[in-house]
Amino acid sequence: MITIIDYGLGNIQAFVNVYRRLHIPVCVAKTADELKGATRLILPGVGAFDHAIEKLDASGMRPTLERMVREEHVPVLGICVGMQILASGSDEGKLPGLGWVSGRVKGFAAVPELKGLPLPHMGWNDVQAVVDSPLFRGLEDDARFYFLHSFYFDCEDGTAGIASASYGHDFICAVAEGNVFGVQFHPEKSHHFGTILLKNFAEF
């Protein structure tokens, strides 16, 4: 069962609609009890890093998610800020992240190559898989996704990065570490490219 984690951030219904069109069973969890039976987890998110962590903590689901992801190895896909909070922390805030993927979130504003470019980075952009990942099966060439962000995931040793995009400079836009996956872009807003990626996550 694909379970969308509803902790008050992100367009939950958009993910539900995609999976229903694909005839893939999907449900929404707002409490720890509603996470039971999940075989895949999607962690969406919009807004600021600290606010997302605070909302997740306030939902009461974090301890159950920690157990499911860390001990039971249930696959999880973080999206946008949901990807960023997978890191150990962010230059945007002060709170520690989940630490499920080795790395830290950094701001585009501190990148010299981006001087003069508007922030946030918004709109469609090419995405290139940099390693062979089941998440990008069928998306190896000409994949485009919708972005809206001012911060990016800086992997600790580079091995977690599975796809990149370019905005003034190349940056990692998708990560994977064990059963934990994350994408900076919005697959739920990325038409058939996003549908393929969400289908891949459900089926691999």
Judge whether 156 counts as a catalytic residue: no
Instruction: Spot the catalytic one: 80, 121, 149, 173.
Output: 80
In the chain, the number of structural domains is 1
Catalytic-residue membership of 27: no
Contact 201, 77 (CB under 8 A): yes
CB 163 within 8 A of CB 129: yes
What is the distance between the alpha carbons of residues 199 and 177, in angstroms, rounded to a whole number?
Answer: 19
25, 31 Cβ separation under 8 angstroms: no
Rounded CA separation 203/134 (Å): 9
From 156, 186, 192, 203, active-site residue: 186
Q: Which residue segment(s) compose the domain that 128 sits in?
A: 2-203
Please give the chain's pLDDT, 204 residues, in tens. Answer: 999 999 999 899 999 999 999 999 999 999 999 999 999 999 999 999 999 999 999 999 999 999 999 999 999 999 999 999 999 999 999 999 999 999 999 999 888 887 888 999 999 999 999 999 999 999 988 899 999 999 999 998 778 999 999 998 899 999 999 999 999 999 999 999 999 999 999 998
Among 39, 34, 28, 36, residue whose Cα is nearest residue 5: 28
Instruction: Assess whether 188 carries a catalytic annotation.
Output: yes
CA 92, 93, 96, 98 torsion-angle sign? negative
Q: What CATH number did the domain enclosing 99 receive?
A: 3.40.50.880
